[in-house]
Amino acid sequence: MQNYTAPLRDMRFVLHELHGAEPLPGQEEFSVELLDTILEEAGKFCTEQLLPINASGDLEGCTYENGVVHTPKGFKEAYKGFSEAGWGALNAAQKYGGQGAPETIAKLVEEMICSTNLSFGLYPGLTHGASLALESHGSEELKDFYLPKMVSGEWSGTMCLTEPHCGTDLGLLRTKAAPQNDGSYKISGAKIFISAGEHDLTENIIHLVLARLPDAPAGVKGISLFLVPKFLPNAEGRPGARNGVSCAAIEHKMGIKASATCQMNFDDATGWLVGTPHKGMQAMFVMMNSERLSVGTQGLGIGEIAYQSAVSYARERLQGRSLSGVKHPDKPADPLIVHPDIRRMLLTMRANNEGCRALCVWVAQAMDRAALAADPVERAEYEEFVALLTPVVKALFTDLGFESASTAMQVYGGHGYIRDHGIEQLARDARIAMIYEGTNGIQALDLVGRKLPANLGRSLRRFFHPVSEFIEAHSGHPALGKLVQGYARAFGALQLATAYIAEKGMSDPEEAGAAATDYLRLFGLVALGFMWVRMAVIAVDKMGGEDAEFYQAKIVTARFFMQRILPQAGALLFTIKAGKAPLMDMAEAAF
């Protein structure tokens, strides 16, 4: 059985105590009390409506027949309730019927959705991403017509990038767009791996499709973005004639089986240009960057339910006796949780989850600040911070989410490997997050190849400066000085690795490429460490209050992270400094 209770206390701590309780200018209506109510209600919906159909949805999966896709039992009812309650409209623009809630609260709600039913979350998640791209680059006519229905959940959205012969290298795509006299376009081509490309949850599906115009230059500079509805809306704004869009098949996948992953054909389908010709990647990256942060949240969500399930099992399962002496003499054996190695696994999951949650909200808060900033310089600073951390959040969180699912399975032993407890589903569902929206290797290359050198390295200041200031201010902390000093050494390793990559990568791109994945993990661990030392300082100051048990657990978990996880930073630095030779010296024919 999958065990989950929304971690509301930790969410409130991160939202209000770590990152500040006061609403940002422009978000005054979202008071502390309202944000807490949103979290509570989201927790109820997710545990009562989404979790009960998670395992059954995985077992049943989506079915395909004659171009029609049916979602598993209970999904249509859950989606109806989800939309009617306004969860899909939570952080959408009020102009189009959304609630305009902060990204900080939206990301925490996303985490709960992903913990309780990752497959379900992909349907409204893709719609939100498509809405952002359309809102950022679409014409006023397209936005006014389509966005209210997408925000309400009446219509859903997709992103159609990948083709059978090209995934990451979108410059190779072949889908064509032929201009028509009425200003529309005829879209022809095939796309694969399209999440939510066809389903029975909404009355219409709005596809955002990358394609080439007849005069398009080669490569990514020749890609345009088009809006292509499944049904062409009639004069009343309702779905009318079927467009030239069809689902040829659904993929038979390792996980997320209740999410329809489709092979889509576009046969002279009518579409409309979003943005300007040959600038489709600019528009699509609005959606892709949003989705990358959301995919990172998927890893966190899986990590949380894996942890909670493992803790529940470790408390109940009786195996062996404690190494320090019998703890439960009235029972034939002690529970698993008394054993050091079980605690190592549980604390690793917990420390990673709570650190990721804190980092996620920090990035989401920067997104809010960027959107609300009146000063263009201030806005640019927050945008640079978000851009720098996006590949870290996507790759690190999904890596750790899969590791947590695997670790939870280890806690369960053989009972985790069989279907009965639902742990093997978590491992299967988590695995895709490391692949889609740009594989984690691509995220690492993006970090070292684009984000580090961007603006002559200026983006790094958005992270490095607050970390340096914190270390300087708290190295002499009476209770946590040694903890902060230990963190400073890990931060120093990150600085040395950054300088090494900057020097070597400038003359040899393969050096940067060889270091990329290890550097992203190093950066990510240092970012989590920053969250943990900050949380520890807050917890120490509040130890004498009513919630002493919560703050004591924070301090213990912080010390575990700093002493048992963060020391990996030193090994990662040595690995990075080994350079490309260990990877590139092997002759291709020898593989």
Number of domains in the chain: 1
> Which residue segment(s) compose the domain that 483 sits in?
456-583
CA angle (301, 304, 309) in 5-degree steps: 130
Q: What is the pLDDT of residue 316?
A: 97
Q: What is the mean pLDDT of residues 69-85?
A: 98
Q: What is the pLDDT of residue 534?
A: 98
Q: What is the pLDDT of residue 21?
A: 65
Burial of 128-154, coded b for 16+ CB within 10 Å and e otherwise, reads bbbbbbbbbbbeeebbeebbbbbbbbe
Q: What is the mean pLDDT of residues 366-373?
A: 94
Report the distance separating Cα 89 and Cα 41, nearest Å.
15
Catalytic annotation, pick one of 437, 503, 510, 511: 437
Report the distance separating Cα 530 and Cα 484, nearest Å.
9
Q: Measured in whole angstroms, how far is the alpha carbon of residue 5 from the centre of its chain?
A: 20
Residue 159 belongs to a domain: no
69-78, 157-166, 311-320: range with lowest mean pLDDT: 157-166
Q: What percent of the chain has pLDDT over 70?
A: 100
Question: CB within 8 A of 462, min separation 6: which ones?
Answer: 381, 382, 384, 385, 388
Question: CB within 8 A of 27, min separation 6: which ones?
Answer: 100, 102, 368, 372
Residue 322 belongs to a domain: no
Q: What is the pLDDT of residues 184-237, one digit of tens each?
A: 999 999 999 999 999 999 999 999 999 999 999 998 899 999 999 999 999 889
Question: CB within 8 A of 445, min separation 6: which ones?
Answer: 513, 516
Q: What is the pLDDT of residue 181?
A: 97
Q: Which residues pair with 421 in a beta bridge?
A: none
Residue 103 belongs to a domain: no
Confidence of residue 455 (pLDDT cuts 50, 70, 90): confident
Q: How far apart are the first and last CA of the chain?
A: 43
- Would you say residue 358 has pLDDT above 80? yes
Q: Which residues pair with 59 in a beta bridge?
A: none
Q: What is the mean pLDDT of residues 68-93?
A: 97
- Would you say residue 66 has pLDDT above 80? yes
Q: What is the pLDDT of residues 285-329, one digit of tens each?
A: 777 788 899 999 999 999 999 999 999 999 999 999 999 999 999
Residue 570 belongs to a domain: yes
SS3 (DSSP) at 177: strand
Say whether 17 is catalytic: no
Q: Measured in whole angstroms, how far is the alpha carbon of residue 309 from the centre of its chain?
A: 21
Report the distance separating Cα 322 and Cα 332, nearest Å.
12
Q: What is the pLDDT of residues 417-447, one digit of tens each?
A: 999 999 999 999 999 999 999 999 999 999 9
> Quick one: which of 144, 137, 218, 142 has its CA closest to 174?
218
Q: What is the mean pLDDT of residues 131-158?
A: 97
Q: What is the pLDDT of residues 262-279, one digit of tens each?
A: 999 999 999 999 999 999
> Quick one: which of 91, 115, 94 has its CA closest to 11?
115
The secondary structure of 34-54, three-state, reads: HHHHHHHHHHHHHHHHHHHHH
9-13, 79-83, 170-174: range with lowest mean pLDDT: 170-174
Angstrom CA distances, 91 to 94, 158, 283, 295, 429, stand at: 9, 18, 19, 17, 25
Residue 274 belongs to a domain: no
Residue 318 DSSP label? B
Residue 508 belongs to a domain: yes
Beta strands in 243-381 (DSSP E): 245-250, 261-274
Q: Which residues pair with 210 in a beta bridge?
A: 225
Q: What is the pLDDT of residue 538?
A: 97
Beta strands in 95-184 (DSSP E): 155-160, 176-179
Q: What is the pLDDT of residue 259?
A: 98
Q: What is the pLDDT of residues 569-578, one digit of tens each?
A: 999 999 999 9
Residue 258 belongs to a domain: no
300-309, 339-348, 365-374, 452-461: range with lowest mean pLDDT: 452-461
Question: CB within 8 A of 478, min separation 6: which ones?
Answer: none
Q: What percent of the chain has pLDDT over 90?
A: 92
Residue 538 belongs to a domain: yes
Amino acid at 63: T
Higher pLDDT: 412 or 26? It is 412
SS3 (DSSP) at 101: coil
Residue 337 DSSP label? G
Q: Measured in whole angstroms, how far is the alpha carbon of residue 476 from the centre of its chain?
A: 36
Residue 221 DSSP label? G
Report the distance separating Cα 315 and Cα 322, nearest Å.
13
